[in-house]
């Protein structure tokens, strides 16, 4: 059953990747759109009414909510394949951050992270932990920086993850 699911996901992603060149940054039909989690506050200021919900990413219909990750970090926005070999989450940096600053902060915490892409439009960092490939992607949003984190255990799912990246951006 596991191989059949992987084949189904790969087939779905293959057609989606072909279509992505025609509909850049738009979610393919049938994909689920996930928004960044809302927070009650960002700072200690009384005038700060929180943030969140300003970024989104779309995932193939085969991905499911990663309830365990949601419980661990206390917020929504995590999806995974049914077998758990690929997970993705969407976040946002507070107003005033830049893509370059988000990259610098991520590299402080992940000293072995290597840039796969480093442009004003997108930063893509990669690193490995305990046999899992991790990707951090940062793109400019509307007044915030949108971020996605991928954890990939099965290298055959990298193409699926790559097809998700162009859907990261500000909510529409």
CA distance 38 to 51: 6
The pTM assigned to this predicted structure is 0.77
List Cβ neighbours of 15 (8 Å cut-off, separation of 6 or more): none
Alpha carbons within 13 angstroms on the beta-carbon side of residue 125 total 23
Q: What is the CATH number of the domain that holds 111?
A: 3.40.1000
Residue 133 located in a structural domain: yes
Residue 108 located in a structural domain: yes
**Maximum separation of any 2 CA atoms in the chain, in Å:** 53
pLDDT at 143: 84
CA distances from 151 to 81, 131, 134 (A): 11, 10, 5
Task: Tell me the pLDDT tens digit for each residue of 64-93.
Answer: 988 887 566 556 678 999 999 999 999 888
Q: Does 62 score more than 60 pLDDT? A: yes
pLDDT at 15: 38
- The 3-class secondary structure across the chain, one letter per residue, is CHHHHHHHHHHHHHHHHHHHCCCCCCCCCCCEEEECCCECCCCCCCCCCCECCCEEEEECCCCEECHHHHHHHCCCCEEECCCCCEEEEEEEECCCCCHHHHHHHHHHHCCCCEEEEECCCCEEEEEEECCEEEEEEEEECCCCEEEEEEEECCHHHHHHHHHHHHHCEECC
| Structural domain span for residue 83 | 2-39+50-170
Nearest to 102 by CA among 118, 87, 88, 116: 118
Q: Does 24 score more than 50 pLDDT? A: no
Find the range with the poorest average confidence among 39-53, 69-83, 123-137, 154-168: 39-53
Mean pLDDT value across residues 109-115: 93
Strand partners, 55: 170
Residue 44 located in a structural domain: no
Mean pLDDT value across residues 100-105: 92
The number of distinct structural domains making up the chain is: 1
Mean pLDDT computed over every residue of the chain: 81
Residue 45 located in a structural domain: no
pLDDT at 154: 94
Residue 12 located in a structural domain: yes
Residue 11 located in a structural domain: yes
Mean pLDDT value across residues 140-155: 92
């Amino acid at each position: 059953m596991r191989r059949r699911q992987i084949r189904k996901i790969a087939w779905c992603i293959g057609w989606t990747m072909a279509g992505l060149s025609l509909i850049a940054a738009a979610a393919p039909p049938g994909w689920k759109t996930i928004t960044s989690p809302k927070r009650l506050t960002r700072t200690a200021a009384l005038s700060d009414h929180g943030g969140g919900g300003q970024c989104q990413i779309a995932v193939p219909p085969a991905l499911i909510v990663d309830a365990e990750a949601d419980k661990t970090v206390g917020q929504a926005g995590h999806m995974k394949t049914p077998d758990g070999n690929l997970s993705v989450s969407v976040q946002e940096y507070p107003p005033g951050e830049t893509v370059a600053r988000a990259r610098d902060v991520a590299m402080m915490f992940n000293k072995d992270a290597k840039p796969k892409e480093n442009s004003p439009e997108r930063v893509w960092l990669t690193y490995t932990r305990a046999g899992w490939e991790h990707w951090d992607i940062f793109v400019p949003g509307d007044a915030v920086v949108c971020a996605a984190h991928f954890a990939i255990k099965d290298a055959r799912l990298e193409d699926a993850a790559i097809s998700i990246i162009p859907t990261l951006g500000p909510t529409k």
